[in-house]
Structure 1
């Protein structure tokens, strides 16, 4: 159940459906599911604890947006932005990275304990893909302060698409981990070695 909550939370957080300014699938609900899932997945696991703390911070961060007080920043436009909105976007992206690290590393460690090298490798590769696209995105973000070129927007669009695909792979990783590692009570299976 914990891994299912994590997968649904990631999906709700990743996909934005809006009617005007109204968010049909609020991020705050996705982060809430992630907090519940990470709490049940392994309370003693340090990576899951890191992911849970980042998800709590992101849930609080998304509350003003949920009620319409904090406008979202469109990084795909040709406009330049001030430093404050870009710093906020960078901080949010770093919290996302911490959360995804916690999820991927927690799954990787549980897979190693269960001697499932394929799942451990998938978790490591999933994290590397997310980190690579996010690092490139964060590197280009300061250029949005004063550059309005079409090529920069095109590169940002490609990075966003790559990051979307990498995050979708993490969702599938979490679902697979739920089938492989979960024993039905929300936590990882206990080792049968006595």
Structure 2
């Protein structure tokens, strides 16, 4: 598997939850370890990849906290996960802007990194305003906040899928190999 293929697969495991009752069959830890392994192979190729590697380590720590006996998704852990995912997207996209296999991917990577960062910042600013909680939570949203929340979630999903498609398309680029 190529380094970016490992990043792709790992992030897929992080964002998808396979639960049986309360038990997560594939804990996020496995996904973050795959992301770290992939980025470790290429972190010297571009400073953005080193930044993404560091952000993925934060993601691993956040996911390890969730494995503790009382490791529920506290606001601090949720923020850590969000920062980690945004850091990985921003770092990988920054590297793709230089090392991407074709001009289309390089230009789209620049747009995706800013859209992802912007949505993350909007979420951080709007969370207390919309829900009174430190993180965006559908359960805490009421009234018009539900519509705004759903709009942000849909936009974030679209941008993340776009990012994943860029990573998939770039996974075999010569400059992004070991």
Q: Which runs of 5+ in 1 are unaligned?
A: 73-84, 188-194
In 2: Cα distance, 1:154 partner to 1:90 partner: 22
Q: What's the CA shift string for 1:114-158, capped at 9, x where partnerless? A: 6x3211102112212212322221121122226752221331122
Equivalences for residues 29-178 of structure 1 within 5 A: 29-72=30-73, 85-111=74-100, 116-143=102-129, 144-145=131-132, 148-178=141-171
TM-score by length of 1: 0.77
**How many residue pairs are counted as aligned between the two chains?**
170
In 2: Cα distance, 1:49 partner to 1:4 partner: 17
Whether the aligned pair in 2 keeps the contact of 1:104 and 1:127 (CA below 8 Å) is yes
TM-score by length of 2: 0.83
Q: Which runs of 5+ in 2 are unaligned?
A: 134-139
Structure index of larger Rg: 1
Provide the residue aligned with 2:177 in structure 1.
186
In 2: Cα distance, 1:68 partner to 1:169 partner: 35
Query: What is the RMSD of the two structures over their aligned residues, measured on CA atoms?
Result: 2.2
Provide the residue aligned with 1:5 in structure 2.
6
In 2: Cα distance, 1:49 partner to 1:12 partner: 21
Equivalences for residues 6-21 of structure 1 within 5 A: 6-21=7-22
In 1: Cα distance, 2:43 partner to 2:80 partner: 26
In 1: Cα distance, 2:68 partner to 2:78 partner: 18
In 2: Cα distance, 1:42 partner to 1:69 partner: 34
Q: Secondary structure at the match of 2:171?
A: helix
